Amino acid sequence: MNVEDCIFCKIVKKEIPSKILYENEKNLAFLDIFPINDGHTVVIPKNHYQNIEDAPEDEIVELFKIVKNLAIMIHSKLKIDGYNILQNNFEAAGQVIKHLHVHIIPRNKTDEKFKLKIPRNQASEKKLDRILNLLKT
């Protein structure tokens, strides 16, 4: 995807309207138009990076500082029980828009919107050793 076709880049350039919650010279946060819950916010760098692998580390640090501060504000002002911070990379992980972005999704104990299902089958020592060896070589 090139920058001209990127919906988030168009939001940055104000070619597409959005409900901006926060903006500085490098980052932008706006309300998701397909919210999982009220207050669902998307935080993006203004520079176009396809995913977290492409972005410079200093920009990722700054982005996540903003995510933290906005999450605290959303938690307090919306009086929610908690929130998910979600960042997908590549299609297999659920990335739809190929511009680095972070979701802050307000949650309440009873909302039943989605749940992360964590497998309860413990990996064998042999399998863990094989994966560790693969990752470290």
pLDDT digits (tens, 9 = 90+) for 74-116: 999 999 999 999 999 999 999 999 999 999 999 999 998 888 8
Instruction: Tell me what pLDDT residue 122 has.
Output: 92
Question: 66: buried, middle or exposed (CB in 10 Å: 19+, 13-18, 0-12)?
Answer: buried
Distance between CA atoms of 84 and 54, rounded to whole angstroms?
23
Residue 3 predicted with pLDDT over 80: no
Instruction: Tell me what pLDDT residue 118 has.
Output: 83
- Establish whether 101 is a catalytic residue: yes
Which CATH architecture best describes the domain 3-136? Answer: 2-Layer Sandwich (3.30)
User: What's the pTM value of the predicted model, to 2 decimals?
Assistant: 0.92
Residue 1 predicted with pLDDT over 70: no
Question: 74: buried, middle or exposed (CB in 10 Å: 19+, 13-18, 0-12)?
Answer: buried
Instruction: Tell me what pLDDT residue 91 has.
Output: 96
**pLDDT, mean over the chain:** 95
Instruction: Tell me what pLDDT residue 85 has.
Output: 98
Q: Tell me which of 40, 48, 99, 101 is the catalytic residue.
A: 101
Which whole-number Å values give the CA distances from 42 to 9, 20, 85, 104, in the listed order?
13, 10, 10, 6
Which tokens go with 87?
């960042």
